[in-house]
Chain A
Amino acid sequence: MLDAGRHPNIDLMAYSEVESMEGESGAFEIRICRKARFVNEDQCTGCGTCAEKCPIQVSDSFNMGQGTRSAIYSWFAQGIPSTHTIDAKYCRQLNGKKCGICQKVCQADAIDFNQKDKIVNLTVGAVIVAAGYDIFDPSRIPEYRYRDQPNVITSMEFERLLSAGGPTAGHLNRPSDRTVIEEIAVLEKKAKKSEKMLGKYEEKYKMVSERFYRAFQSGEHGDEKDSVKWADKYKAYLEIKSKREALKTRAERFSTAKNLAFIQCVGSRDFRFYQFCSGYCCMHSIKEAIIAHEHEPETRSVIFGMDIRAVGKGFEEYKIRGGNHSNISYHRGRVAEIRGGPDNHPVVIYEDTISQTVKKEAFDMVILATACAPGKSLKKLASVLDAELDEFGFLKTNHLQPVDTTREGIFVCGCAQSPMDIPESVSQASSAASRAVQVLMTYRKVS
């Protein structure tokens, strides 16, 4: 990424979209909309002070909604370019409220609330589409209860949990447990506020709240205005405290997730959604299980799949090694249902084909290997570029010209063409570069 960012022949236009294209192979006229960041790209040094001081916290989309980021943000720490961006939807200043803190703290004077979308016109000889894919939304599969069960998560969410730079700094804390810990923090805050309030009464009447409350309950203080209020406040405080203590007792039992289930083909190989195989998910589940085991040697993983498609170089060997050294077992079959269980342990219901019985098993966490869905914006992009999509929703190619789209001079690589893993994407990218150079050279000869 950084190599691309630093290469003298590469002009990166992040946060931009192709609006229209005219012309033909060798000379395309392209109109690109560079969306307003409200931050001047040439001035921003990416220091991050603005993000530190920004008062608005929103859900962090890079971490798949786990954790928060500021309304002014960079997509992730090593992102290229490191220019920050203001999320116009949440920024106070851009929504007519008083703020502008980022502008005050920015030493580079890079904040520009008046920035507008900018149109850039380019003439290019060839176009390469590497627009990637979308992650299938598993809430479309009601029987897996992704929305209802906090500890049923997607592979990408799990990936962020495993990451040292992720929301849990790499610890496999279950989402439901994290919610409880967040609740405890909120209650702590409330209790502190309450204590402060009670302290005022205590000072005024020179009496501790506990003694006052006992006396109040036995009718000693009648119903003077202050007494009633004090009693109400104390009662509320007791409630907060008991709730907090109950949660704390619960939290004592929390440990990181050690018993994991990986469910393959979530949305793939399924006629209700995508009939194709997403190709890479078997491997990323094995990889995630191996990494989880590296973090915590007591981890046990079960991978449920119809076939385990370890079809790349060294992949079958990796799969076997995962089984032998990382406590992974592979279970053939499609999981029928995931239900809720005690203590938020999702229960996986599946058929054990060896004993030919339906079994239920509770896990600490269930990870859904979601399908590689054709990008939502790919359809629009294809129509702008006047290239056809195939029956699966990816850009159409011919197996003898694997990176040529139906439009001359427009090439495709990676998961915009069909689901594929990293080495295949990389070799396809080289292939697309090769085809594009061929076009440019023909064009150069003609002109």
Chain B
Amino acid sequence: MADQIKKENAEEKPRIGVFVCDCGSNIAGHLDCESVAEYASTLPGVVFTKENLYTCSESGIAEIQQSIKEHHLTRVVVASCSPRTHQPLFAGSCAQAGLNPYLFEMVNIRDQCSWVHMGQRENATEKAKNLVRMGVAKSVTLEPQKEIESSLIRKVLVIGGGMAGLSAADAFAAMGIEVILVEKSGALGGLLRKINRLANGEAAIDVISNLIEKVESRSNISVYTGSEVKSIGGYIGNFNMTVSTGDKNIEESAGCVVVATGALPWVPEGLYGYNGEGVITQIELEDRLKTGALNASQIVMIQCAGARTNNREFCSRICCMTAVKNALIIKEYKPDSEIHILYRDMQMYGTEKEKMLWDARGKGIRFHVFDKDKPPDVKNGKVHFFQPLLGETREIPCDLVVLSTPLLPNENARNLARTFRVPVDQNGFFLEAHAKLRPLDFAADGIFLCGSARYPATTAEARSQGIGVASRAAGILFKEKLVTSAIVAGIRDDTCVGCMICLNACPYQAISFNEISNVCEVNVILCKGCGNCAAACPSHSARLKGFMQKQVLAQIRAF
């Protein structure tokens, strides 16, 4: 009993520790961190304060953990940067020291204070004090929470059977994870089926056939060709989907999803007199080389045909390499042929590609630069273009013009994006979670991407990404169970009137309407804790943990 009272007392009078971070000079350069820390120590409930050069550094974290133990802290407030990047670190560190991580509160005095009030030291310091006071007031009202656990299906759905998808499927299978591989067309292999040879001289069909054979021989990969994913529901760990194989619908389930739907070369209708005969694309050239139907000996290749223009700004990455590769192949079996490549920038990045460029120059392939604003003119078996290096217009007679057109996202990509509720970028390629640090993840949990569906990729890049995506998803699928944040919404069924405003406000489709009880319900696994529903709910029935009314009001009243 005595213990019980003691505990309750502790709850009534929280012991708060406040840590003020200098963030090097990011914060301390623009406001007085020392006086903020000093001020914090005067706030009610605060029993410990500390200013750190970097609170997120290993020593800063150690200090938090040590003071939780030494000063018996029941709340920790860190005044530093954005919770977006550092909340998990600080909250996790509190948990390691034995404090419930949901008793941690973060105050942003960098992005929302020092960075926006540079040169106004006094005002910035004053604002930081206000923010800290509000954070401390909120922390008092925080409640311990328990993380949410859910089961998962150790199986993965891979959409797309090209180089990236096949590589991913093979890698998953090698790790002992069951794979459902869905390919829209009638056969596996993707774009490589149409390619003649790879840059190292190997026949593309041999390479892809070997991989297909390997995938098909694996007992833990189910391949569905000529099939599409019609619908998908569920969430990380527990997706369920309907796969249409044309004649029937199959219900499948998986813990994670990989999108590897690839890209297609643009058909340049109306550009440079494209006609599929004397003016063709690189992919059509590949076909002529493969079938031995190429009989031209004076060839002009035009780069950036339909790419890096005002309407389509992006560079398609692989077309320069493709042009040089094909030029070298033609030179190899027809050494007297004359090949000119008209380019804007030769995008031969890295080791091997740049070497190919040197080789091509050495073998007499001619490179001419042209300006974006003065594109070449193809007329009567001749190509005219302005050569800025010489300052004159040149004319090259030719019997074949090859246009290097960009790879564009699969036309189906937008539909698929809607089905899977994942974003695409302005060019229609799938958009990853972070351009630099999370290239193979979608922002939505449990869904990944690789290959040219993300952005045009060479064979080696698609392969590497396909193998890589397998470890991203395996990191989830190898777990015994899933543990997710407790900061989720809940809807009170006694006050909810079933108006369904929250249903539309939720960007994650985490809310559904229960037809029997006539109230809305939150799927806590799908809920990302954005708080839209709580803000929209007219009866205050939708509430977000960690941002309950009393908590937010305590924060506001402290201002």
**What's the nearest-Cβ distance from chain B to residue A311, in Å?**
5
A78 to B53 Cα, complex, angstroms: 9
Do B435 and A314 touch across chains, with their CB atoms under 8 A apart? Answer: yes
With A78-B57, A392-B351: A434-B25 Cβ-Cβ less than 8 Å:
no
Is A402 close to B, CB under 8 A? yes
- CB neighbours (8 Å) of B116 from chain A are none
Do A320 and B313 touch across chains, with their CB atoms under 8 A apart? Answer: yes
The stretch from B123-131, B234-242, B469-477, B515-523 touching chain A is B469-477
**What's the nearest-Cβ distance from chain A to residue B426, in Å?**
8
Is A345 close to B, CB under 8 A? no
Is B102 close to A, CB under 8 A? no
Is A227 close to B, CB under 8 A? no
Is B24 close to A, CB under 8 A? yes
Is B507 close to A, CB under 8 A? no
Do A77 and B471 touch across chains, with their CB atoms under 8 A apart? Answer: no
Give the interface size bracket for B toward A: 35 or more
Which listed residue (B175, B313, B369, B455) contacts A441, Cβ 8 A? B175
Is A32 close to B, CB under 8 A? no
Q: A280-315: which residues lie under 8 A (CB-CB) from chain B?
A: 307-315
**What's the nearest-Cβ distance from chain B to residue A43, in Å?**
12
**What's the nearest-Cβ distance from chain B to residue A388, in Å?**
15
- CB neighbours (8 Å) of A77 from chain B are 24, 53-54, 57
A433 to B314 Cα, complex, angstroms: 31
Is A10 close to B, CB under 8 A? no
**What's the nearest-Cβ distance from chain A to residue B316, in Å?**
9
Do A403 and B200 touch across chains, with their CB atoms under 8 A apart? Answer: no
Do B469 and A430 touch across chains, with their CB atoms under 8 A apart? Answer: yes
Is A107 close to B, CB under 8 A? no
Do B440 and A2 touch across chains, with their CB atoms under 8 A apart? Answer: no
In the complex, per-residue mask of A416-447: 1 if CB is within 8 Å of any chain B CB, else 0: 00111011101111110111011001100000
The stretch from B270-278, B352-360, B485-493, B526-534 touching chain A is B352-360
Is A185 close to B, CB under 8 A? no
A46 to B348 Cα, complex, angstroms: 45
Which listed residue (A78, A354, A422) contacts B437, Cβ 8 A? A422
Which listed residue (B58, B308, B351) contacts A46, Cβ 8 A? B58
Main secondary structure of the interface of A (DSSP, over half): loop
Do A307 and B347 touch across chains, with their CB atoms under 8 A apart? Answer: yes
- CB neighbours (8 Å) of B358 from chain A are 275
In the complex, per-residue mask of B380-394: 1 if CB is within 8 Å of any chain A CB, else 0: 000000001101000
Do B176 and A441 touch across chains, with their CB atoms under 8 A apart? Answer: yes
Is B464 close to A, CB under 8 A? yes
Do A45 and B369 touch across chains, with their CB atoms under 8 A apart? Answer: no
Is A164 close to B, CB under 8 A? yes
A428 to B92 Cα, complex, angstroms: 28
- CB neighbours (8 Å) of B352 from chain A are 399, 418
A313 to B440 Cα, complex, angstroms: 13
A11 to B314 Cα, complex, angstroms: 41
Is B26 close to A, CB under 8 A? yes
- CB neighbours (8 Å) of A314 from chain B are 314, 425, 435
A75 to B234 Cα, complex, angstroms: 46
In the complex, per-residue mask of B313-329: 1 if CB is within 8 Å of any chain A CB, else 0: 11101000000000000
Do A399 and B198 touch across chains, with their CB atoms under 8 A apart? Answer: yes
Beyond known contacts A353-B388, A419-B349, A424-B461: 8 more, CB 8 A cutoff: A2-B56, A77-B57, A276-B350, A307-B345, A399-B199, A400-B463, A419-B350, A427-B468
